[in-house]
Amino acid sequence: MTSKRNLVGLAWPALTDFFLELGQPEYRAKQLMEWIYQHNVGDFSQMSNFPKELRQKLEETAVVGAGEVVARQVAADGTTKLAIAFSEDRIVECVILRYHYGVTLCLSSQVGCKMGCAFCASGLGGFVDNLTTAEIIEQIWQANQELAAQGLRVGHLVYMGMGEPLDNYPQVIESIRFANNPATFNIGMRNITVSTSGVVPGIRQLAEENLPLTLSISLHAPLDYLRDQIMPINQRYPLTELMLAVRDYARTSRRRVTFEYILLAGFNDQLIHAEKLASLLAGIIANVNVIPYNEVPGLPWQAPSDKQIRFFLRALEARGVTATLRRELGPEIEAACGQLRRRLQGEE
Ligand code: SAH
Ligand code: SF4
């Protein structure tokens, strides 16, 4: 661990203060941000518009990035999963996904998760801590480092990695505003998706921010007695309350809300579930992502057969629900978040 100042994710006022303390003018902060976020350069010796003494001073007092990529898995389709360690027990995962429209980064908001969903690997290792804004931002920086050689950079963010983003609200919202800033990654609000298991006060707070983000709800079951069994948060905020908040969000933001629906064989993949899902979503401009379950070693859940998956999709479409089948990219690299950390920590 280093006692040097980490400059990644440092907001404008703190960064200008840092340069003022070094006896440097404020515009150095702007130049540094250009190097880090736009040119993807973290090596002070390459920062050619800095005087030599300043570069030396920076080497002595600062670092660009506090984490280390400790594992990297690359799938045949190019999907890349990184495990970044900020300390021994502070390991997070992010996944670089390549789509025809650009690169999406799936990032983590916490180390572990408190929500305890029965199908998810993230909660299995327990909850360690909230990530800081800088640690969330560093995932984008590290991903861009990976992508630089191919002339690519992250253009979309989905908060679907480890953790519940709305359980780490202040840091997540700050990281969104930071990444959106034209002086940093300049990622459009419309290119950012926040996924939640259904933290109702967080959804309401997010609505008040009035940002054109995409809200994604991890629904996974259309009936309370089923959702209660797999998502403990449903006992706190049952479907009626959740859907009320979602309807309000959709109305005020005028954005299409996305629903995630993992298909778990024999549990939520029958005709009755498609019918109930369709009536739950009636009147909402929604898109349902149907996701065959990504099996987690040690957990009893399985994905349904392809035939059952197609049947479920058709049943939704027949009831006027816009649904897309989301095949997990790179399944062979344990793209379901939480799995790589578990393996690294030998918990499986
Ligand atoms: N905590 C937030 C965001 C992280 S999880 C949330 O729950 O929405 C991101 C998505 O991955 C959620 O929809 C979650 O339910 C889903 N997921 C978790 N484990 C999975 C698995 N093994 N296979 C497929 N999807 C999974
Ligand atoms: Fe947490 Fe989301 Fe996993 Fe549930 S699905 S345990 S909320 S990361």
Give the model confidence (pLDDT) of 202-229 as tens digits.
999 999 999 999 999 999 999 999 999 9
> Does residue 336 line the site of ligand 1, with CB under 6 A?
yes
Residue 330 is predicted with a pLDDT of 59
Q: Which of 94, 114, 164, 230 to mutate to test the pocket of ligand 2 (most atoms within 8 A of CB)?
A: 164
Topology of the domain covering 68-339:
TIM Barrel (3.20.20)
Whole-number pLDDT of residue 348: 30
Cα–Cα distances (Å) from 285 to 195, 212, 251, in that order, read 17, 15, 9
How far apart CA 35 and CA 13 sit, in angstroms, is 17
Query: Edge-to-edge strand order for the sheet containing 80-87?
Result: 68-74, 80-87, 90-99, 102-106, 154-159, 192-196, 214-218, 257-263, 286-292, 323-325
Ligand 1 center–CA 187 separation, angstroms: 23
- Rounded to an integer, the average pLDDT of 226-234 is 98
The pTM of this model reads 0.94
Name the residue at shortest CA distance from atom 8 of ligand 2. Answer: 163
Per-residue pLDDT reduced to its tens digit, 112-127: 999 999 999 887 778 9
pLDDT one-digit tens code per residue, 6-50: 999 999 999 999 999 999 999 999 999 999 999 999 999 999 999
Domain ranges of the chain: 5-63, 68-339
Which residues, in sequence order, are CB contacts of 96 under 8 Å at separation 6+?
79, 80, 81, 82, 103, 104, 105, 143, 146, 147, 154
pLDDT at position 2? 55
Q: Is CATH 3.60.15.10 correct for 5-63?
A: no
Q: Is the predicted pLDDT of residue 338 greater than 60, yes or no?
A: no
Stronger pLDDT, 249 or 3, i.e. the higher one: 249
Query: What whole-number distance in Å separates Cα of residue 8 and Cα of residue 143?
Result: 13
* Predicted local distance difference test score (pLDDT) of residue 281: 96
What pLDDT is stored for residue 339 in this prediction? Answer: 54
Which of 139, 181, 129 has its CA nearest to residue 159?
Answer: 139
Ligand 1 centre and the CA of 218: distance in Å?
A: 7
Residues lining ligand 2, Cβ inside 6 A:
113, 115-117, 120, 122-123, 163-164, 197, 218
